[in-house]
Amino acid sequence: MTALRPYQADAVARLRAAYTAGARAPLLVLPTGGGKTLIFSHICAGAAARGRRALVLVHRRELIRQASAKLHAAGVAHGIVAPGFSATRDAIQVASVQTLGRRLARSAARGVDLIVIDEAHHAAAGTWRRIVDAFPGARLLGVTATPERLDGKSLGVGAGGPFDMLVDGPGIGELVRLGFLVPSEVYAPAEAPDLTGVRVRAGDWARDDLEAALDRPQVVGCAVEHYARFCPGLPAIAFCASVRHARDVAGRFSAAGWRAAAVDGAMTVAARDRAIAGLADGTVQVLASCDLISEGLDVPAVGAVILLRPTKSLGLHLQQVGRGLRPAPAKAKLVVLDHAGNTLRHGLPDAPRSWSLDGAAPRRRADAPKLPALRRCPACFALHPPIAVCPVCGHQHQPEARAVREVSGELARLDEARLAALRAAPLRELLRHAQSDADLRTIAQARGYKPGWVWHVKRERAACPEAAA
């Protein structure tokens, strides 16, 4: 059996203590790459040794394979309930939620003592709850990196969820410090995407609107240029707003000479597996996807993630960034190219976060640590905490001028109607028509931007001419 790391052994001990204290359904929170599958495999091995029956629920084919591999490594005989697998009478079963939902009556008759729910932030949804309710005598164990749902549904029993105790493991920052995850460097353009007119649906920006806002040559062109500048050739995943967006992104990377591919649910399983495997063997340098690999992908070789889909979901953001945090030989860090502005919304990956079972995301809770404002380095474009020296390139930030400075240049008269138009118009449209420094200063004045905004825009245009076209 694979030996547990100290914090993993501590998690097992705390989960057992939770059951002893009367909890029926503890939820273990541990970042992507922290070893949640290994932990619940160890617990399943103990259950099997005591003659207990356990059911591991997963919702993706990749998670079935991962759970099965870890159980094999732990020496635990098990069956798989999924299309293409024959039924067995093993005490431990790894089950696809979708398949088990269709066979529930037959499975419920056999009974189980423990139900493990992988990616347990999904557990408040219909099919998961129907399965859990079919085994009222079973204990539950949930595991997730992000115990929140965008729809606001609580995971705690006090508000209708399935879990009654939270067992919180070390965060990303602590696992980076211990050497079990790699540190990240986050780079972002001067301006976040213009989401004017993009509707919100089910708690997040609507995908069809996002596709129209983001699937543009200037946005994708800058993503290609930044990849070439900051992480050329590194195995990278680009998270996109839609299937078509992912295909267009892969096409632009391919046209620039990079080995790129897009994956989506309409592909055959074999084709999808080849594309994902290409990240590890070098045949694919950039893999573009829309949510298909936000969870469950375990390819430690991934050295960069390219964020091209804005999201209001902290959970989705951390799941996407987490795809690249696992260590690998010769991998010193993860490069995050955030063209979606998600880091500015949700904080750096290693920011401390306090989770809860009450259905509120940590950034909205009164007792959660406040995420510090981020500073963007004008020399290397890295996002970092508001300190005087950039930790990536060593650039020394200059204090912002507090006094009004006189500047030369052509002045245009501004009246209330003009100011109102400048404030209401989409920023991307204003920038497209801004031809001079004076134009940029007018926009900054009307919209209340800081004095350095014009300088940042000019530098971004110089670095990525396509974006200014």
pLDDT, tens digit (0-9, with 9 covering 90-100), for 423-435: 778 887 788 777 7
Q: How far is CA 176 from the centre of its chain?
A: 17
Number of Cβ within 10 Å of residue 305's Cβ equals 25
Pairing of strands 236-239, 334-338: unpaired
pLDDT of residue 12: 96
- 169: number of CA atoms within 13 Å, CB side? 29
Length of the chain: 469
pLDDT of residue 458: 76
Residue 177 near residue 40 (C-beta atoms within 8 A): no
Read off the pLDDT of residues 376-398 as tens digits, 9 standing for 90 and up.
888 888 888 888 898 888 888 87
pLDDT of residue 370: 56
Give residues with Cβ within 8 angstroms of 159, minimum separation 6.
Answer: 358, 359
Pairing of strands 139-144, 26-29: parallel
pLDDT of residue 115: 96
**DSSP 8-state assignment for residue 338:** E
pLDDT of residue 32: 92
Q: What are phi and psi of 369, to 5 degrees?
A: -65, 135
pLDDT of residue 191: 65
Assign 362 to helix, strand or coil. Answer: helix
pLDDT of residue 28: 97
pLDDT of residue 323: 92
pLDDT of residue 412: 42
Q: Cα separations (Å) of 108 from 25, 100, 101, 104, 136?
A: 19, 10, 10, 6, 10
At residue 90's C-alpha, the angle toward residues 86 and 91, to 5°, is 140
- Those residues of the chain that have pLDDT short of 70 are 1, 108-109, 125, 150, 152, 190-192, 292, 294-296, 359-372, 399-419, 450-451, 459-460, 462-469
pTM surpassing 0.95? no
Give residues with Cβ within 8 angstroms of 65, minimum separation 6.
Answer: none
| Residue ranges of domains in the chain, CATH in brackets | 6-171 (3.40.50.300), 180-351 (3.40.50.300)
Q: d(Cα 310, Cα 133) in Å, to the nearest integer?
A: 35
Q: d(Cα 216, Cα 267) in Å, to the nearest integer?
A: 24
Residue 25 near residue 261 (C-beta atoms within 8 A): no
The token pair at 407 is: 């500047």
pLDDT of residue 263: 92
The token pair at 182 is: 């790699």
**DSSP 8-state assignment for residue 282:** S
Q: d(Cα 32, Cα 324) in Å, to the nearest integer?
A: 9
Q: d(Cα 92, Cα 200) in Å, to the nearest integer?
A: 42
Residue 325 near residue 334 (C-beta atoms within 8 A): yes
Report the DSSP beta bridge partners of residue 212: none
